[in-house]
Amino acid sequence: MLPEPVFHDAKHHIKIFQGDCLDILAKIPEDTIDLIFADPPYFLSNDGITCHAGRMVSVNKGQWDRSPGPAKMHDFNRAWLAACQRVLQPNGSIWVSGTSHVIHSVGFAMQQLEFKLLNDITWVKPNPPPNLSCRYFTHATETLIWAAKNKKSKHTFHYKLMKETNGGKQMKSVWPFYPPSTDEKRFGKHPTQKPIALLERILLASSNPYDLVLDPFLGGGTTAIAAIRASRFINGIDSFPEWNSLALRRIVAELIFVQISVDLCSVSVDRSGAAETHARNRTLVAKLVQQERKFYFIGTNQREVIYSVEAESLDDAWQKFRATNHSNKEILFVIKTETEIYLAQ
């Protein structure tokens, strides 16, 4: 039996699990996943330095990214790849992203497991951080390996769509994408976060609407965001609570399409030239005239505001909700807004 997901949206078929991917993959029925995207640990936290936003920073990302040595690293890559191969449906395929620290092991493990190698994609970063040591070429790429489950697989590839996307020309295996934008990191950032546009292209190219996508190293949740936008179903796994928390913040924000209006009482306004001149020249003093804390209950199936109420706390709001005729409806989100209105004097 699969463990209880930390997040489950039945309407959009989203399940996020917390735990070791090998343990959870072993509990997923075989031949059930249409597409897998995996961004495994790169094992490059070696106490080195890099440049970020013009500053010298450590490359260390955490204990999970420290190399256990080539042999153990390869054993790990072969183990999770074999687990992914088992759950892939016969015509399913897998994408794996990595740098030179890990991608050669991944490719060799795929050959050992008799995946059918389809493409290696070079993701080019137009604005890579400079190489501070000046002893190497600047690292400006990552490699993605695309492979089918085995040699018998008839994998999905939307050639025409990719050609249209590329201005009517065959799409090549070199893809320029900028790293995640500031907007993509507004809820927090993962150290190996991928741009949403990159994942959207992968899903659109090699899966169909409503296919089931799996990400065994979900991290900050980019695969889930891309799946939602591309109308794919998604199962994600990550062992770290902080990354699941980040992923959930991003997923919830992506799912909420609620328009909350703020109704302000109309007041008379003196639009004379003298009043405007006075307003420009005076020192602003503001007096708080209204303060409001409001909670909006969003339905699980009906993605709109089911009930809204002013309350001092979430517990207070829940009590008021349960006392209404809406209490039998399933609620997926609760949004809290705090409004302060000041009178400029």
Closest CA to 253 of 141, 335, 168: 335
- The pLDDT value given to residue 74: 96
Nearest-angstrom CA–CA distance, 207 and 196: 16
- Sign (positive or negative) of CA dihedral 48, 51, 55, 59: negative
- The pLDDT value given to residue 277: 45
Indicate left, alpha or beta for 5 from its phi (over 0: left) and psi (-120 to 50: alpha): beta
- The pLDDT value given to residue 131: 75
Average pLDDT by stretches of 10, the chain with 345 residues? 92 94 97 97 60 51 64 95 98 96 95 98 89 82 97 98 96 96 88 94 98 97 96 96 92 75 48 45 67 90 88 93 92 89 72
For the chain, the structural domain boundaries read 7-255, 273-344
- The pLDDT value given to residue 120: 97
- The pLDDT value given to residue 134: 81
What residues are paired with 82 via a beta bridge?
none
Going from the C-alpha of 178 to that of each of 128, 250, 273, the distances in angstroms are 9, 19, 50
- The pLDDT value given to residue 274: 42
- The pLDDT value given to residue 26: 97
Nearest-angstrom CA–CA distance, 202 and 205: 5
Long-range CB pairs of 281-289 (<8 Å, 24+ gap) are 284/344, 285/344, 285/345, 286/342, 286/343, 286/344, 286/345, 287/342, 287/343, 287/345, 288/340, 288/341, 288/342, 288/343, 289/341, 289/342, 289/343
- The pLDDT value given to residue 271: 40
Nearest-angstrom CA–CA distance, 42 and 105: 11
CATH architecture, domain 7-255: 3-Layer(aba) Sandwich (3.40)
- The pLDDT value given to residue 51: 47
- The pLDDT value given to residue 275: 43
